[in-house]
Amino acid sequence: MIKIGIVGGTGYTGVELLRLLATHPHAEVLQITSRSEAGRAVSELYGNLRGHFDLDFSEPDPQRLADCDLVFFATPNGTAMQMAPELLTQGVRVIDLAADFRLRDPALWAQWYGMQHACPGLLEEAVYGLPELNRAQIREARLVANPGCYPTAMALGFLPLIEHDLVDRENLVADCKSGVSGAGRAASVGTLMGEVGESFKAYAVDGHRHQPEIRQTLIGVGGQAVGLVFVPHLVPMIRGIHATLYARLVTPASDLQALFESRYVDEPFVDVLPPGSHPETRGVRGVNHCRIALHRPQQGDTAVVLSVIDNLTKGAAGQAIQNMNLMFGMDETCGLEQVALLP
């Protein structure tokens, strides 16, 4: 059994980790930390976990966490980088679900996250945890930076086009919609039902923190500069991301359907739908899948890729467990074979 610790177990990402790990056949959660809820039973805060975890939340203690084989950080940005170096020294592997290790440039990280990086020397070592791109490196990693939710949906939609140099890389557009759980569990006026219900809005149009992350990924794949307009939107639903991606084809004769089917044929968690499909976020609710559909309006030179994921699962906790499976030599689908929830 893999002995697991979770730092930050009270947010939506933390409880999603617990939900998935509860039925994982090779995982044993030893510790779940929360400064605000220390001493409280996990099942008292999250009734859906009653009967699955006989644990209380505890204060995060690096010495106790050193008893684990792997520690997940489901914490705000800036937390994992304070504790990861000591855990790595103790031989503990780390998966950070926040952004502390996603960007390789510490100056760029400071620019977007408003603080100096506490351990910049680890940024080059950290493996970006998108299995469909970095599977081999993840298997050998001791520190994995779990991708952001928007970048996961965008990367999986853009990758085949960039890898085959089929599109104008300077003019990529990502029009993305997310449910309110992406904003976290902390109380905020902007995410109250009375504020988001029966409404729909764009935000962070001038610059979202996930922008440099997705650009870094696409530049790494294509080896050339990328121009990306990324506009996120908040929609009145709890979970799910729908990314509508636009790119101008430089070789319009390309068979996009065949290209995507070939690229993802062996990927257990990427489903390329039949031609003309329109994936829905409810089709991936609660599961570690990305569903993709391809379109070329009026058979013109614009490729439109529709990519949907659950922001808490493939966009966070599910992908983190997929990475854990790879790091410990297991089948990467282990514990992740749930069926999406409908209705």
What is the SS3 string spanning the chain?
Answer: CEEEEEECCCCHHHHHHHHHHCCCCCEEEEEEECCCCCCCEHHHHCHHHCCCCCCECECCCHHHHCCCCEEEECCCCCCHHHHHHHHHHCCCEEEECCCCCCCCCHHHHHHHHCCCCCCHHHCCCCEECCHHHHHHHHHHCCEEECCCHHHHHHHHHHHHHHHCCCECHHHEEEEEEECHHHHCCCCCHHHCHHHHCCCCEECCCCCCCHHHHHHHHHHHHHCCCCCEEEEEEECCCCCCEEEEEEEEECCCCCCHHHHHHHHHCCCCCEEECCCCCCCCHHHHCCCCCEEEEEECHHHCCEEEEEEEECCCHHHHHHHHHHHHHHHCCCCCCCCCCCCCCCC
Is residue 149 flagged as an active site residue? yes
Candidate list 149, 176, 290, 334, residue with the active-site label = 149
Catalytic residues: 149
